[in-house]
Amino acid sequence: MTAGVFGRAAEPIVIDVWSDVVCPFCYLGHAVLREAVEQFPHGSAVQVRYHSFQLNPGFPPGETVLADDYLARQHGMPKAQIAASHAQLTARGAQAGLDYRFERALMVNTLDAHRIIHLAKAHGQESAMVDRLFRAEFTDGLDVSDHKVLAGLAAELGLDRAEAEKALATRAYENDIRADLARARELGITGVPFFVFDDKRAVSGAQPVELFRRALDLSWQDRETQPA
Amino acid sequence: MESSNLEPEPAEAAPDAAEPSAPAALILLEPADDAGACSVDGWCD
């Protein structure tokens, strides 16, 4: 942020992001948003806040199933169609620097993954944890509902493993998740990723980087044209 | 592994709409054709 700037221009552009760990388009959207912020001349004046969203909140805790098998079973989707869809997304992901390995991806209940994100947020590691969890899910094929896995990922980021294990063993951060879900309902969000810029503009889905740049540019223009 | 779901409140039931949408208070920037999202029924498109 430029020193000596007064009024709204001195405030960060706040981007609220709703996403789920097992949502492949959320991983892509996360990467594309990061690219847009890096391109943005005022990128240092952007604050990204992640919020929990569960696509399958009723998925049985402790159960894991290959995502491909889940899609085929839950939606009656032919395996060939799943493969074609994944190939397309894999190509888009590669352009954004992502390494999708859909053959390894697991469908799990993501409540505890969201709890570890909130723990990381309390330590200023929110974005890093979101990024690491996406990679664990879509590249490493890890079970991101497993407490040992989650505590290990927290430790990778320099967080205290014992604190993570303790948080996971309790119902810590569930109220934060409830608040995120409640806000999503208020906003009418039914799909993710969903991005809200300064509580004013929204981007739905893993849009091209140009659309995120447009949202950033418009948000910055607001600061230049509106008084504090 | 001990875990549980959040107890859903009545208002937390999944909305009927399958497509992402924005409330009137938000300005939804025009989406591109090739963007993708996952909806609350677990469907990604």
Which DSSP string do the residues of A156-223 spell out, in sequence order? HTT--HHHHHHHHHTTTTHHHHHHHHHHHHHHT--EESEEEETTTEEEESS--HHHHHHHHHHHHHHH
Q: What angle do CA A152, A155, A160 make, to 5 degrees?
A: 120
Of the candidates B36, B28, B18, the residue with the CA atom closest to the CA atom of residue A195:
B28
Q: What angle do CA A104, A107, A111 make, to 5 degrees?
A: 130
Amino acid B11: pLDDT: 39
**A81 vs chain B: nearest CA distance in angstroms?**
12
Asked if the structure places residue A227 within a domain, the reply is: no
Asked if the structure places residue A62 within a domain, the reply is: yes
- Pick among B34, B38, B39 to test the A interface (most A CBs inside 10 A): B38
Once rounded to an integer, what is the mean pLDDT over residues B14-43?
A: 67
* H runs (alpha helix) in chain A: 24-39, 67-75, 79-95, 111-122, 126-135, 147-156, 161-169, 174-187, 209-225
> Where does residue B8 fall: left (phi above 0), alpha (psi -120 to 50 degrees), or beta otherwise?
beta
**A45 vs chain B: nearest CA distance in angstroms?**
21
Asked if the structure places residue A47 within a domain, the reply is: yes
Put simply, the answer to whether B43 touches A145 (Cβ < 8 Å) is no
Interface ipTM > 0.85: no
Residues of chain A predicted below pLDDT 70? 1-9, 227-228
Amino acid B13: pLDDT: 38
Amino acid B45: pLDDT: 78
> Could you report the per-residue pLDDT of A118-143, keeping only the tens digit for each?
999 999 999 999 999 999 999 999 99
Asked if the structure places residue A153 within a domain, the reply is: yes
Amino acid B44: pLDDT: 81
> Could you report the per-residue pLDDT of A48-88, keeping only the tens digit for each?
999 999 999 999 999 999 999 998 998 888 889 889 999 99
Residues in A closer than 8 angstroms to B12, CB to CB, are 181, 185
Asked if the structure places residue A208 within a domain, the reply is: yes
Residues in B closer than 8 angstroms to A190, CB to CB, are 14-15, 17-21, 39-40
Amino acid B14: pLDDT: 39
Domain count, chain A: 1
- Pick among B30, B44, B45 to test the A interface (most A CBs inside 10 A): B44
Q: Strand pairing of A65-66 and A194-197?
A: unpaired
| Dihedral angle, C-alpha A127, A129, A134, A135, nearest 10 ° | 110
Put simply, the answer to whether A191 touches B2 (Cβ < 8 Å) is no
Handedness of CA A125, A10, B29, A38 (dihedral sign): negative
Asked if the structure places residue A55 within a domain, the reply is: yes
| Pairwise CA distance, residues A142 & A137, whole Å | 6
Asked if the structure places residue A2 within a domain, the reply is: no
Q: Domain of A203?
A: 7-222
* CATH number for the domain that contains residue A42: 3.40.30.10
